[in-house]
Structure 1
Protein backbone atom coordinates (compact mmCIF):
# COMPACT_ATOMS: atom_id res chain seq x y z
CA UNK A 1 0.00 0.00 0.00
CA UNK A 2 1.38 3.38 -1.02
CA UNK A 3 1.42 6.19 1.52
CA UNK A 4 -0.18 9.52 0.71
CA UNK A 5 1.88 12.70 0.73
CA UNK A 6 0.44 13.79 4.06
CA UNK A 7 1.18 10.39 5.61
CA UNK A 8 4.78 10.60 4.42
CA UNK A 9 5.21 14.18 5.64
CA UNK A 10 3.56 13.39 8.97
CA UNK A 11 5.88 10.43 9.45
CA UNK A 12 8.91 12.64 8.80
CA UNK A 13 7.52 15.30 11.12
CA UNK A 14 6.99 12.78 13.93
CA UNK A 15 10.50 11.40 13.46
CA UNK A 16 11.94 14.90 13.80
CA UNK A 17 10.06 15.52 17.07
CA UNK A 18 12.12 12.84 18.83
CA UNK A 19 14.98 15.25 19.47
CA UNK A 20 12.86 18.29 20.40
CA UNK A 21 13.75 19.71 23.80
CA UNK A 22 12.03 23.11 23.76
CA UNK A 23 8.60 24.35 22.74
CA UNK A 24 10.20 26.89 20.39
CA UNK A 25 11.79 24.06 18.42
CA UNK A 26 8.46 22.29 18.14
CA UNK A 27 6.80 25.50 16.97
CA UNK A 28 9.41 25.95 14.23
CA UNK A 29 8.93 22.35 13.16
CA UNK A 30 5.13 22.73 13.15
CA UNK A 31 5.42 25.93 11.11
CA UNK A 32 7.58 24.21 8.50
CA UNK A 33 5.20 21.23 8.36
CA UNK A 34 2.15 23.48 7.93
CA UNK A 35 3.84 25.46 5.15
CA UNK A 36 4.23 22.26 3.13
CA UNK A 37 0.43 22.23 2.92
CA UNK A 38 0.01 25.95 2.18
CA UNK A 39 -0.86 26.81 5.78
CA UNK A 40 1.22 29.87 6.68
CA UNK A 41 -0.40 30.54 10.07
CA UNK A 42 -0.34 28.33 13.15
CA UNK A 43 -1.00 28.67 16.86
CA UNK A 44 0.25 26.32 19.54
CA UNK A 45 -0.81 26.44 23.16
CA UNK A 46 -3.05 25.27 25.97
CA UNK A 47 -6.80 25.00 25.66
CA UNK A 48 -7.53 24.00 29.25
CA UNK A 49 -9.58 26.66 30.99
CA UNK A 50 -7.31 26.82 34.04
CA UNK A 51 -4.19 27.51 31.98
CA UNK A 52 -2.92 30.76 30.52
CA UNK A 53 -4.28 31.43 27.08
CA UNK A 54 -2.67 33.56 24.36
CA UNK A 55 0.01 35.84 25.70
CA UNK A 56 1.56 36.66 22.33
CA UNK A 57 5.19 37.52 21.77
CA UNK A 58 6.31 36.54 25.27
CA UNK A 59 9.35 34.36 25.58
CA UNK A 60 8.10 32.73 28.79
CA UNK A 61 4.68 31.86 27.40
CA UNK A 62 3.62 28.35 26.48
CA UNK A 63 1.53 29.82 23.65
CA UNK A 64 3.15 30.60 20.35
CA UNK A 65 1.55 31.85 17.18
CA UNK A 66 2.68 33.39 13.96
CA UNK A 67 -0.60 35.08 13.03
CA UNK A 68 -0.31 38.61 11.60
CA UNK A 69 1.05 40.96 14.28
CA UNK A 70 -1.91 43.33 13.96
CA UNK A 71 -4.32 40.47 14.67
CA UNK A 72 -2.26 39.25 17.64
CA UNK A 73 -2.36 42.75 19.10
CA UNK A 74 -6.11 43.17 18.56
CA UNK A 75 -6.90 39.67 19.83
CA UNK A 76 -5.02 40.31 23.06
CA UNK A 77 -6.25 43.87 23.55
CA UNK A 78 -9.90 42.83 23.07
CA UNK A 79 -9.60 39.77 25.33
CA UNK A 80 -10.83 37.49 22.56
CA UNK A 81 -9.38 34.35 24.17
CA UNK A 82 -12.35 34.48 26.57
CA UNK A 83 -14.91 34.34 23.74
CA UNK A 84 -13.01 32.63 20.91
CA UNK A 85 -15.29 29.83 19.67
CA UNK A 86 -12.30 27.82 18.43
CA UNK A 87 -10.85 27.68 21.93
CA UNK A 88 -14.25 26.85 23.43
CA UNK A 89 -14.81 23.97 21.00
CA UNK A 90 -11.22 22.78 21.38
CA UNK A 91 -11.75 22.38 25.12
CA UNK A 92 -14.66 20.03 24.49
CA UNK A 93 -13.55 18.09 21.41
CA UNK A 94 -11.07 15.27 21.12
CA UNK A 95 -10.70 15.37 17.35
CA UNK A 96 -9.71 17.92 14.74
CA UNK A 97 -12.33 20.28 13.37
CA UNK A 98 -12.62 22.86 10.60
CA UNK A 99 -13.17 26.49 11.48
CA UNK A 100 -16.09 26.54 9.05
CA UNK A 101 -17.85 23.92 11.21
CA UNK A 102 -17.62 26.27 14.18
CA UNK A 103 -18.79 29.28 12.20
CA UNK A 104 -21.92 27.50 10.97
CA UNK A 105 -22.70 25.79 14.29
CA UNK A 106 -26.06 26.95 15.65
CA UNK A 107 -24.61 27.32 19.15
CA UNK A 108 -22.01 29.94 18.19
CA UNK A 109 -22.60 33.26 19.92
CA UNK A 110 -22.72 36.60 18.17
CA UNK A 111 -19.45 37.51 19.92
CA UNK A 112 -17.84 34.27 18.78
CA UNK A 113 -18.89 34.87 15.19
CA UNK A 114 -17.48 38.41 15.43
CA UNK A 115 -14.08 37.02 16.47
CA UNK A 116 -14.01 34.77 13.40
CA UNK A 117 -15.24 37.57 11.11
CA UNK A 118 -12.54 39.92 12.38
CA UNK A 119 -9.88 37.22 12.06
CA UNK A 120 -10.89 36.85 8.41
CA UNK A 121 -10.17 40.53 7.80
CA UNK A 122 -6.59 39.82 8.88
CA UNK A 123 -6.25 36.91 6.45
CA UNK A 124 -7.31 34.11 8.80
CA UNK A 125 -10.30 32.93 6.78
CA UNK A 126 -10.17 29.17 7.18
CA UNK A 127 -8.30 26.65 9.21
CA UNK A 128 -8.25 23.49 11.23
CA UNK A 129 -7.92 23.15 14.98
CA UNK A 130 -6.35 20.00 16.41
CA UNK A 131 -6.93 19.83 20.17
CA UNK A 132 -4.29 17.93 22.13
CA UNK A 133 -5.39 16.99 25.62
CA UNK A 134 -3.11 15.45 28.21
CA UNK A 135 -4.00 13.89 31.55
CA UNK A 136 -6.49 16.02 33.49
CA UNK A 137 -6.55 18.57 30.64
CA UNK A 138 -2.84 19.31 31.05
CA UNK A 139 -0.80 20.73 28.21
CA UNK A 140 2.92 20.13 28.27
Structure 2
Protein backbone atom coordinates (compact mmCIF):
# COMPACT_ATOMS: atom_id res chain seq x y z
CA UNK A 1 0.00 0.00 0.00
CA UNK A 2 1.33 3.43 -0.90
CA UNK A 3 2.20 5.98 1.82
CA UNK A 4 -0.85 8.08 1.00
CA UNK A 5 -3.48 5.36 1.72
CA UNK A 6 -1.43 4.27 4.72
CA UNK A 7 -1.59 7.78 6.19
CA UNK A 8 -5.36 7.90 5.61
CA UNK A 9 -5.81 4.57 7.36
CA UNK A 10 -3.69 5.63 10.34
CA UNK A 11 -5.69 8.84 10.72
CA UNK A 12 -8.96 6.92 10.56
CA UNK A 13 -7.92 4.34 13.16
CA UNK A 14 -6.78 7.06 15.55
CA UNK A 15 -10.03 8.98 15.07
CA UNK A 16 -12.46 6.05 15.13
CA UNK A 17 -11.11 4.35 18.22
CA UNK A 18 -11.51 7.58 20.15
CA UNK A 19 -15.13 8.13 19.09
CA UNK A 20 -17.83 8.33 21.74
CA UNK A 21 -20.89 8.77 19.51
CA UNK A 22 -22.23 8.29 15.98
CA UNK A 23 -21.50 11.89 14.93
CA UNK A 24 -17.78 11.53 15.69
CA UNK A 25 -17.64 8.21 13.85
CA UNK A 26 -19.32 9.73 10.79
CA UNK A 27 -16.78 12.57 10.89
CA UNK A 28 -13.95 10.01 10.89
CA UNK A 29 -15.48 8.23 7.88
CA UNK A 30 -16.03 11.53 6.09
CA UNK A 31 -12.35 12.33 6.62
CA UNK A 32 -11.46 9.20 4.66
CA UNK A 33 -13.96 9.68 1.86
CA UNK A 34 -13.02 13.33 1.34
CA UNK A 35 -9.33 12.47 0.99
CA UNK A 36 -10.28 9.84 -1.60
CA UNK A 37 -12.36 12.33 -3.57
CA UNK A 38 -15.75 10.79 -2.76
CA UNK A 39 -18.23 13.39 -1.54
CA UNK A 40 -20.89 11.04 -0.18
CA UNK A 41 -21.18 7.83 1.79
CA UNK A 42 -23.89 5.63 3.27
CA UNK A 43 -24.29 2.31 5.06
CA UNK A 44 -27.34 0.19 5.76
CA UNK A 45 -28.36 -3.19 7.07
CA UNK A 46 -30.21 -5.39 4.56
CA UNK A 47 -34.00 -5.41 4.94
CA UNK A 48 -35.97 -8.56 4.18
CA UNK A 49 -37.50 -8.80 0.70
CA UNK A 50 -40.92 -7.58 1.90
CA UNK A 51 -39.53 -4.70 3.97
CA UNK A 52 -38.62 -1.13 3.10
CA UNK A 53 -35.16 0.31 3.71
CA UNK A 54 -36.26 3.31 5.79
CA UNK A 55 -35.43 1.96 9.26
CA UNK A 56 -32.33 0.02 8.24
CA UNK A 57 -29.89 2.88 7.55
CA UNK A 58 -26.83 2.89 9.78
CA UNK A 59 -25.60 6.30 8.62
CA UNK A 60 -25.72 8.38 5.44
CA UNK A 61 -24.77 11.67 3.89
CA UNK A 62 -26.30 11.10 0.45
CA UNK A 63 -27.64 14.21 -1.31
CA UNK A 64 -30.93 14.86 0.51
CA UNK A 65 -33.18 14.95 -2.61
CA UNK A 66 -31.73 11.64 -3.82
CA UNK A 67 -32.02 10.00 -0.41
CA UNK A 68 -35.66 11.03 -0.14
CA UNK A 69 -36.44 9.83 -3.66
CA UNK A 70 -34.60 6.53 -3.16
CA UNK A 71 -36.67 5.78 -0.06
CA UNK A 72 -39.98 7.05 -1.42
CA UNK A 73 -39.77 4.90 -4.56
CA UNK A 74 -38.34 1.91 -2.62
CA UNK A 75 -35.41 1.60 -5.04
CA UNK A 76 -33.32 -0.62 -2.77
CA UNK A 77 -34.69 -3.98 -3.91
CA UNK A 78 -34.17 -3.07 -7.59
CA UNK A 79 -30.76 -1.45 -7.08
CA UNK A 80 -28.29 -3.29 -9.36
CA UNK A 81 -25.36 -2.35 -7.12
CA UNK A 82 -26.95 -3.99 -4.09
CA UNK A 83 -27.90 -7.05 -6.15
CA UNK A 84 -24.34 -7.47 -7.43
CA UNK A 85 -22.76 -7.17 -3.98
CA UNK A 86 -25.23 -9.60 -2.42
CA UNK A 87 -24.60 -12.19 -5.13
CA UNK A 88 -20.83 -11.79 -5.33
CA UNK A 89 -20.03 -11.03 -1.70
CA UNK A 90 -17.20 -8.73 -2.74
CA UNK A 91 -16.63 -4.98 -3.21
CA UNK A 92 -17.95 -3.44 -6.41
CA UNK A 93 -16.77 -0.44 -8.42
CA UNK A 94 -19.99 0.69 -10.06
CA UNK A 95 -18.67 1.74 -13.46
CA UNK A 96 -16.55 -1.38 -13.94
CA UNK A 97 -19.10 -3.95 -12.83
CA UNK A 98 -22.34 -2.50 -14.18
CA UNK A 99 -21.02 -2.17 -17.72
CA UNK A 100 -20.77 -5.97 -17.83
CA UNK A 101 -24.40 -6.46 -16.82
CA UNK A 102 -27.59 -6.40 -18.82
CA UNK A 103 -29.55 -3.97 -16.66
CA UNK A 104 -33.33 -3.90 -16.57
CA UNK A 105 -34.97 -0.58 -17.51
CA UNK A 106 -35.71 0.13 -13.83
CA UNK A 107 -32.16 -0.67 -12.73
CA UNK A 108 -30.72 1.53 -15.46
CA UNK A 109 -33.08 4.34 -14.46
CA UNK A 110 -31.92 4.11 -10.85
CA UNK A 111 -28.27 4.49 -11.86
CA UNK A 112 -29.04 7.32 -14.30
CA UNK A 113 -30.97 9.20 -11.62
CA UNK A 114 -28.18 8.65 -9.08
CA UNK A 115 -25.76 10.21 -11.55
CA UNK A 116 -28.09 13.19 -11.99
CA UNK A 117 -27.83 13.78 -8.22
CA UNK A 118 -24.03 13.72 -8.27
CA UNK A 119 -23.44 10.00 -7.63
CA UNK A 120 -21.65 9.45 -10.93
CA UNK A 121 -19.47 6.57 -9.79
CA UNK A 122 -18.83 4.80 -6.54
CA UNK A 123 -17.78 1.74 -4.60
CA UNK A 124 -20.06 -0.52 -2.58
CA UNK A 125 -18.65 -2.92 -0.01
CA UNK A 126 -20.46 -5.78 1.76
CA UNK A 127 -20.58 -5.74 5.55
CA UNK A 128 -20.20 -9.33 6.70
CA UNK A 129 -21.49 -11.04 9.82
CA UNK A 130 -21.19 -14.64 10.98
CA UNK A 131 -24.38 -15.40 9.07
CA UNK A 132 -23.36 -13.79 5.78
CA UNK A 133 -23.78 -10.30 4.36
CA UNK A 134 -25.46 -8.12 6.98
CA UNK A 135 -25.32 -4.81 5.15
CA UNK A 136 -23.59 -2.61 2.59
CA UNK A 137 -21.32 0.45 2.72
CA UNK A 138 -21.09 2.80 -0.26
CA UNK A 139 -19.09 5.87 -1.21
CA UNK A 140 -19.82 7.87 -4.32
CA UNK A 141 -19.32 11.18 -6.05
CA UNK A 142 -18.22 12.84 -9.28
CA UNK A 143 -14.53 12.00 -8.92
CA UNK A 144 -12.46 9.39 -10.79
CA UNK A 145 -12.73 5.66 -10.14
CA UNK A 146 -10.81 4.55 -7.06
CA UNK A 147 -7.67 2.43 -7.41
CA UNK A 148 -7.57 -1.19 -6.14
CA UNK A 149 -5.49 0.00 -3.16
CA UNK A 150 -8.08 2.62 -2.27
CA UNK A 151 -10.90 0.07 -2.56
CA UNK A 152 -9.00 -2.21 -0.16
CA UNK A 153 -8.57 0.74 2.19
CA UNK A 154 -12.30 1.47 2.07
CA UNK A 155 -13.11 -2.17 2.72
CA UNK A 156 -11.07 -2.07 5.91
CA UNK A 157 -12.54 1.28 6.95
CA UNK A 158 -16.10 0.03 6.35
CA UNK A 159 -15.50 -3.10 8.41
CA UNK A 160 -13.93 -1.19 11.30
CA UNK A 161 -16.60 1.52 11.23
CA UNK A 162 -19.37 -1.08 11.26
CA UNK A 163 -17.79 -2.85 14.24
CA UNK A 164 -17.27 0.44 16.08
CA UNK A 165 -20.84 1.57 15.44
CA UNK A 166 -22.25 -1.69 16.83
CA UNK A 167 -20.11 -1.15 19.92
CA UNK A 168 -21.40 2.40 20.33
CA UNK A 169 -25.02 1.46 19.67
CA UNK A 170 -25.11 -1.61 21.90
CA UNK A 171 -28.10 -0.99 24.21
CA UNK A 172 -28.00 -1.76 27.91
CA UNK A 173 -29.49 -5.25 28.14
CA UNK A 174 -29.53 -8.00 30.71
CA UNK A 175 -26.45 -10.24 30.91
CA UNK A 176 -26.82 -13.37 28.82
CA UNK A 177 -27.23 -15.61 31.85
CA UNK A 178 -30.28 -13.53 32.93
CA UNK A 179 -31.83 -13.49 29.46
CA UNK A 180 -34.58 -16.06 28.95
CA UNK A 181 -35.38 -17.04 25.39
CA UNK A 182 -38.03 -19.70 24.95
CA UNK A 183 -37.65 -22.66 22.63
CA UNK A 184 -40.32 -21.22 20.33
CA UNK A 185 -38.64 -17.80 20.26
CA UNK A 186 -35.30 -19.43 19.49
CA UNK A 187 -36.89 -21.33 16.61
CA UNK A 188 -38.44 -18.14 15.23
CA UNK A 189 -35.10 -16.34 15.60
CA UNK A 190 -33.29 -19.01 13.58
CA UNK A 191 -35.80 -18.84 10.73
CA UNK A 192 -35.76 -15.03 10.86
CA UNK A 193 -31.97 -15.05 10.51
CA UNK A 194 -32.29 -17.32 7.47
CA UNK A 195 -34.38 -14.65 5.74
CA UNK A 196 -37.84 -16.16 6.14
CA UNK A 197 -40.88 -13.89 6.36
CA UNK A 198 -43.46 -14.07 9.14
CA UNK A 199 -45.83 -15.92 6.81
CA UNK A 200 -43.13 -18.40 5.81
CA UNK A 201 -42.12 -19.03 9.43
CA UNK A 202 -45.79 -19.52 10.32
CA UNK A 203 -46.15 -22.11 7.56
CA UNK A 204 -42.98 -23.93 8.61
CA UNK A 205 -43.82 -24.00 12.33
CA UNK A 206 -47.58 -24.50 12.08
CA UNK A 207 -48.39 -21.22 13.83
CA UNK A 208 -50.23 -18.10 12.73
CA UNK A 209 -48.35 -15.08 11.27
CA UNK A 210 -49.70 -12.99 14.17
CA UNK A 211 -48.15 -15.40 16.68
CA UNK A 212 -44.81 -15.25 14.85
CA UNK A 213 -44.93 -11.45 14.87
CA UNK A 214 -45.51 -11.54 18.64
CA UNK A 215 -42.51 -13.83 19.19
CA UNK A 216 -40.25 -11.62 17.05
CA UNK A 217 -41.48 -8.52 18.88
CA UNK A 218 -40.70 -10.17 22.23
CA UNK A 219 -37.21 -11.03 21.02
CA UNK A 220 -36.58 -7.46 19.87
CA UNK A 221 -37.72 -6.18 23.28
CA UNK A 222 -35.52 -8.63 25.17
CA UNK A 223 -32.43 -7.83 23.10
CA UNK A 224 -33.09 -4.09 22.82
CA UNK A 225 -33.26 -4.25 19.00
CA UNK A 226 -35.28 -1.70 17.04
CA UNK A 227 -35.63 -3.82 13.89
CA UNK A 228 -34.93 -7.31 12.58
CA UNK A 229 -31.49 -6.56 11.22
CA UNK A 230 -30.34 -5.32 14.61
CA UNK A 231 -32.09 -8.25 16.28
CA UNK A 232 -30.06 -10.70 14.21
CA UNK A 233 -26.81 -8.79 14.76
CA UNK A 234 -27.41 -8.68 18.52
CA UNK A 235 -28.39 -12.37 18.59
CA UNK A 236 -25.07 -13.30 16.99
CA UNK A 237 -23.19 -11.02 19.39
CA UNK A 238 -24.93 -12.60 22.40
CA UNK A 239 -24.37 -16.15 21.12
CA UNK A 240 -28.05 -16.89 20.46
CA UNK A 241 -27.22 -17.58 16.81
CA UNK A 242 -24.13 -19.38 15.54
Deviations 1:80-137 (A, max 9, x none): 0111111112223333221112321224322111100011111110111122211113
Cα 1:7–1:70 shift into 2, 3 Å? same
With structure 2 as the length reference, what TM-score do the two structures score? 0.49
Cα 1:102–1:108 shift into 2, 3 Å? farther
What pairs up with 1:93-104 in 2 under 5 angstroms?
Answer: 93-104=88-99
Aligned residues: 134
2:5 match: 6
Which structure 2 segments of 5+ residues have no match? 136-165, 167-242
Question: Which protein has the bigger strand share?
Answer: 2
Q: CA RMSD, aligned part only?
A: 2.5
Identify the match of residue 127 of structure 2 among 126, 132, 136.
132
**Secondary structure class of the residue paired with 1:9:** helix
Question: Which protein has the bigger helix share?
Answer: 2
Please report how far the alpha carbon of residue 30 of structure 1 lies from its aligned counterpart in structure 2 after TM superposition: 0.8
- Flag the structure with larger Rg: 2
Which structure 1 segments of 5+ residues have no match? none
Does the 8 Å CA contact 1:98/1:129 hold for their aligned counterparts? Answer: yes
Moved more, 124-133 or 60-69: 60-69
Deviations 1:20-40 (A, max 9, x none): 354443222111210112211
Deviations 1:25-69 (A, max 9, x none): 3222111210112211111122x35397642xxxx7543211111
Counterpart CA distance in 1 for 2:87 and 2:24 is 27
Does the 8 Å CA contact 2:81/2:92 hold for their aligned counterparts? Answer: no
